[in-house]
Structure formats: structure tokens, C-alpha cells
A and B are shown apart, each in its own frame.
Chain A
């Protein structure tokens, strides 16, 4: 009964995608799917780093283990972590603070410090910090294993739809924004050059090329010149653009990244999924397959659940029509909540089609 192609089997292949995003509406089974899939990949020899990006983490609960922002070994070939955006924001602010030395008069440190502290609560900070961390992990996934990386595949257990869609759109928006600022810098620099030509030489007292850091020796006494500042602003923006563009490139590369959508055969989740998958397609994010979770199991269920099944069949038909192009796999509704490695492994086998018939409900 499983409408199938090579999904999700191809995820186990050594050359398969290295970055998996598991998305869907709240409560449909993202965490369950991500965990089951990661266990299954680890079992078949693709070492996984399972990462929860949902600010309301539940990944640790599923495994009955306390997780934090640093990878923890759950078993052979499986690491897991829960991102901590506040910690990320803190680290970023520390870095800004460090870069501040030698750029502003020490008398202003205090004021800037206050400004930075306010920024901690600024709208979008948590999201931006999360995206930053995600894109660094993605870059790591594509880098050489020799750099102490103990995993081959990144599996992201994402937050409910809206949050994740915004997150994925971020690199595109940010790249455009950075581009705009760089154009402004170009124009400012062009005026500066014209000014220089008019004066028949270098107008500014630009620090010698190649020793942009020389002023650091003279902290407090000599702050960088306008030209030097301009040069450094450009460097900061270029670096940002590089990292946004890289995240975007990885996100859209089907050889590298696969997006897996989870839904349940009910009205609202289907409607939401139709919209979301459409949005993902617009952003050219490759959705490689869907997990239809909590499908009523085969076998006699009694009059009450048989009535439900009739309704469910209509919804499954709708799913079949709406997502005809996307490979799907069904996971039955289990008698109990999913907790612990054993149940997850069983779901993993069901996902892979290794266990097709669900045992009768207990």
C-alpha cells in the first residue's frame, strides 16, 4: 500500500544527500521521523548528527536523554544536539565586542555595550542566530571528514512550518540585503575616488595596503581613517554575502540537501502542507519525499475507528492528488506515544519498507 519510489531508501546510500531537513505542521511527527530516520541511517553505516532547531526542543525527551547545544553520543554512529539560540546570540555579541577594540574610542565602549545588550532582545535575533548555526553546520557537512567530523549526515528536526519556512528564506533575503548595502558602498567609494583624482593623489591617509591591522598597535591614539573604515565595512559585508550565498547554494543543491515533509491524513495538516510544499517549490527547495504519519493500521478496528477510516481514506486520496509528484511513505498510528529507541527503530524499519505490515494494535 506504500506508494513508493526510491524514497526513502536512497537516503541510506553512501552517496546520498548529506543534509536532511524534516519539516511539517506542529505535532505531526517531525521529531519522531527525524529520530527514526537518523537511527536507521546510523544502522546502515551513515553516521548522523541529529540536530533539533525547534526552540521548543523535544528531541531529548524522545530518547529519554538530556541534550544540549553540544553533540552528545547516543549510540554508535549517532550524535544528537539541541541548538541554543540564546547561547549563539551571546557568542556573536562577544565577537562583535572583540572586534570593537581599536575601532572606537574606549570612552564609547560603555554605550556600545548597552546597545549590544539591547540587541539581545531585538526581533529576529534568535532566528538569525539559528540560521547562522545551521549554515555553519551545513558548511561542515560538505567539508572533508578529516577535520574531526564524526558524522556523515546532518538530520535537522525542524520547528513547525512557519518558523522553518522563514528560516529557509532568510539566506535569500539576506543576500539581497547585503547586495544592496554593498552597492551603496560602491557609490560612496566611487565619490571618494573621484575626490582623490581631483586632488591629484591620495586624498585620504589610507593605511598602507596589506597592513590594515597596523592601527591595532595604537589603540586609542589613532583610529582608522575613513578610507580604512570603508575598506573594513566592505570586508564585513563581503564575508556575510559569502556565507549567505553558500547556505543558499547548499540548500538548493539536490545532491547535497533533501527536504522531507511530514503530515497526517487530516484536513488542516493537508491544507497547510499544500501551501508549504508550494512555497518550498517556489524557493526551489527540493522536497524529496513525504511521510504520511498516523495512518490507521490495517485490520479490523471496530465500528468507531472504521468510521474514522472511511474519512481517512478520503484524506489519503486528497494527499495522493495534491502530491502526486512526490514519493510518499505511510507510517501507521501506534497504540502508544513514541518513546525510546526500540519504537523508533521499528518506525525506521517501517519507513524503509523493511517492515510493511504493522502488527495488530496492542
Chain B
């Protein structure tokens, strides 16, 4: 029985899509992780003083805190700190 060419084309297309999804998915994951790492580092730089690393600019970082707090809890968990490292900030 000769294979139905339409069916083959259909199946190939389908396989191609799966492959693309697979690779893009991994790629997307890598990009998203890179961005998150970058943002984590940024958070660390901004919060350094409160965590005991001297930061000459700590006063000026206060105005950034409201923009960062929303991500703070996830951040300190990701950084391997079970509890909030900020003295005055108890998110958990």
C-alpha cells in the first residue's frame, strides 16, 4: 500500500511543529532565566546595604524599593534564604 502523500506531508508538518515547539520552549526558558538572573542581581545590588554589604547609595535605593518589593519574596527564596533577610521587612 503506497502511503498517502498528503498524510505524510501532514505528519511531517506535525513533527516539525513539535520539534520547533520543543526547541523554542527550551530557548524561551533559557532567555527567561537569563532575564531573571539579571533581575536577581539587580535586586541584590539595590538591597545590599540592608543585608550588611556597604552600599554608598543605599539612601537613593529607597525610591526603587516599592518597584521591587512585589518580587522580593520570590527573590529571597530563590537566593536560598528561607526567611526575609531584611530586618524590617517580614514578608513571610
Contact B87–A185 (Cβ < 8 Å): no
Q: Total A-B residue pairs with C-beta atoms closer than 8 Å?
A: 114
Chain B positions 77-92 with a Cβ under 8 Å from a chain A Cβ: 86-91
Contact A111–B62 (Cβ < 8 Å): no
Contact A108–B64 (Cβ < 8 Å): no
Tell me if A60 is interfacial: C-beta within 8 Å of chain B: no
**Cα of A187 to Cα of B38 in the assembled complex, Å:** 7
The residues of A that contact B63 with a CB separation of less than 8 Å are: 92, 95-96, 99, 236, 240
How many residues on the A side are at the interface (Cβ–Cβ under 8 A)? 48
Contact B56–A191 (Cβ < 8 Å): no
Q: What is the distance, in angstroms, from B91's C-beta to the closest C-beta of chain A? A: 7
How many residues on the B side are at the interface (Cβ–Cβ under 8 A)? 36
Tell me if B17 is interfacial: C-beta within 8 Å of chain A: no
The residues of B that contact A240 with a CB separation of less than 8 Å are: 60, 63
Binds B, one of A36-44, A193-201, A329-337: A193-201
Contact A198 to B27, CB < 8 A, known contacts A125-B59, A188-B42: yes
Contact B59–A195 (Cβ < 8 Å): no
Tell me if A256 is interfacial: C-beta within 8 Å of chain B: no
The residues of A that contact B91 with a CB separation of less than 8 Å are: 108, 111
Chain A positions 115-157 with a Cβ under 8 Å from a chain B Cβ: 115-119, 122-125, 128-129
Residues on A lying within 8 angstroms of B by beta carbon are: 92-93, 95-96, 99-100, 103-105, 108, 111-112, 114-119, 122-125, 128-129, 170, 173-174, 177-178, 180-181, 184-185, 187-188, 191-192, 194-195, 198-199, 223, 229, 232-233, 236-237, 240
The 4 closest A-B pairs by CB, nearest first: A191-B35, A128-B59, A114-B88, A100-B66
